Structure 1
Amino acid sequence: MHDPIAFFLTIATYGTWLPGDKRGWVEYQLGWKLPCRPLELEARARMTEQACILSLTQRKSVESQIAETCEYRKWTLHAKNCRSNHLHVVVGAFKTAPKKVRQDLKAWCTRRLSQGTDDRRENWWAERGSIRWVFTEEELERVIEYVNDAQDSKHLEK
């Protein structure tokens, strides 16, 4: 297997896609799981603040920070799209572990959001997030198209 040419990251905002969710959910290192209402209620009860829904201004701030971080780290930013309840990024970050890429992007976006609002929010993002490896130019084209265009056309935005 050859090295990936990019990573396709998806990061939910805090509290917007909980374990047990009615849409299904991903259990860390165990994969996709069916909805489980009692588990969702338990997860919701453990939340320390309300779910995070990003405003248009906050979304623009996140996208700006993604671009700035990628430029600073010398990563190739192929696509970014911050939605009200999640973020997609397609990035070429050679010789950098994908978890490090995700961690850095979340950390810098958190700093930007915390500085740019009067909110006292502590939790902006879900604990982890999805990392998909992209190996071919064809796959790269598909994920870029999805991030840039397909979400709006499929009405996936809440």
Structure 2
Amino acid sequence: MDDPIAFFITIATYGTWLPGDQRGWIEYHKGWQLPDPVRELEAAAKMNEDAKILSLRQRELVENQIRETCEYRKWVCHAVNCRTNHMHAVVSAFETPPKKVRADSKAWCTRRLKENALPEKTDNWWAERGSIRWVFGDEGLDQVVCYTHDGQEWKPDA
């Protein structure tokens, strides 16, 4: 199989998509899981801060930081969209492991958010990991870029 041309990264903010969530959830190394209300309550009880909902200013900081990190690392940022409870980024980072792309993105966004968080003190901005999907081919890249830019507002017909 060919190498991916980009990574589609999704990272939820802290506490906004817990294990057991009613929407379903991803268990590390085990994949998609059905809702489990008991597990969700247990996860909520273990939280040491409130769930993080990002303001418009914080969302702008995240988007700008992703672009800056990509520029500094010589990666290509095809798209970035930060919402109140998660962010998406589509990044080409040749010869860089995708987990490093995700980790560097989270780390730099966390630094920027902490610098601008006064008077609020926050240690936990993001969920523990996040999703990394490999993107193959121009058609796949077009799809995830379109979703990142426009798919957040899309709602299926009722």
The verdict on a shared fold, with TM-score over 0.5 as the criterion, is: yes
TM-score, length basis structure 2: 0.97
Aligned pairs for 1:26-37 within 5 A: 26-37=26-37
Tell me whether 1:83 sits opposite 2:83 in the alignment. yes
Alpha-carbon distance, 1:150 to partner: 1.3
Is the partner of 1:8 in helix, strand or coil?
A: strand
| Separation in 1, partners of 2:84, 2:97 | 27
Tell me whether 1:21 sits opposite 2:21 in the alignment. yes
Alpha-carbon distance, 1:117 to partner: 1.6
Percent identity over the alignment is 65
| Separation in 1, partners of 2:135, 2:38 | 35
Matched to 1:141, the amino acid is D
1:134 maps to which residue?
135
| Separation in 2, partners of 1:154, 1:84 | 17
2:144 maps to which residue?
143
Is the partner of 2:26 in helix, strand or coil?
A: strand
| Separation in 1, partners of 2:64, 2:126 | 17
In structure 2, list runs of 5 or more residues that go unmatched.
none
1:154 maps to which residue?
155
Aligned pairs for 1:1-158 within 5 A: 1-118=1-118, 119-154=120-155
Is the partner of 2:152 in helix, strand or coil?
A: helix
Alpha-carbon distance, 1:113 to partner: 0.2
Where do 4+ consecutive residues of structure 1 move more than 3 Å? none
| Separation in 1, partners of 2:154, 2:24 | 22
RMSD of aligned alpha carbons: 0.8
